[in-house]
Amino acid sequence: MALEVGGKTIETTENGHLVNLEDWTEEVGAAIAKEEGIEMTDKHWDVIKYLRDEHINNGGNEPMERVLMKDMGKIWGKKPTSKELYVLFPLAPTKQGRKFAGLPQSTRKGGY
């Protein structure tokens, strides 16, 4: 599969994740989100940047939702509820967020 962004063809897996992490830009992330009917906000980008940082600079870390909520609370000044994160990412903040962030599909089995 592929995604057309800014006149460039970006290769994706059958589930819509980028094949090459280096192909990601905010424009690519916004295009993936748009395909899923989501208009990106500053809060979306905060989560995306956090997930990318954890993956790229922390050995491929895939934070659980509880950790994501705690760390977003540090950024936003108030810890969000799970429901608030699911409003942003209806198909699971840590999984759908990784997709928008251009990261590989999650290998975690689940868990809160």
What pLDDT does 23 receive? 96
What pLDDT does 107 receive? 80
What pLDDT does 111 receive? 53
Distance CA 98, CA 112 (A): 16
Write the single-letter amino acid at 18. L
- pLDDT tens for the chain, residues 1 to 112: 889 998 999 999 999 999 999 999 999 999 999 999 999 999 999 999 999 999 999 999 999 999 999 999 999 999 999 999 999 999 999 999 999 999 999 887 655 4
What pLDDT does 30 receive? 97
Which pTM was predicted?
0.92
What pLDDT does 110 receive? 59
Distance CA 51, CA 96 (A): 11
What pLDDT does 74 receive? 97
Nearest to 54 by CA among 106, 15, 16: 106
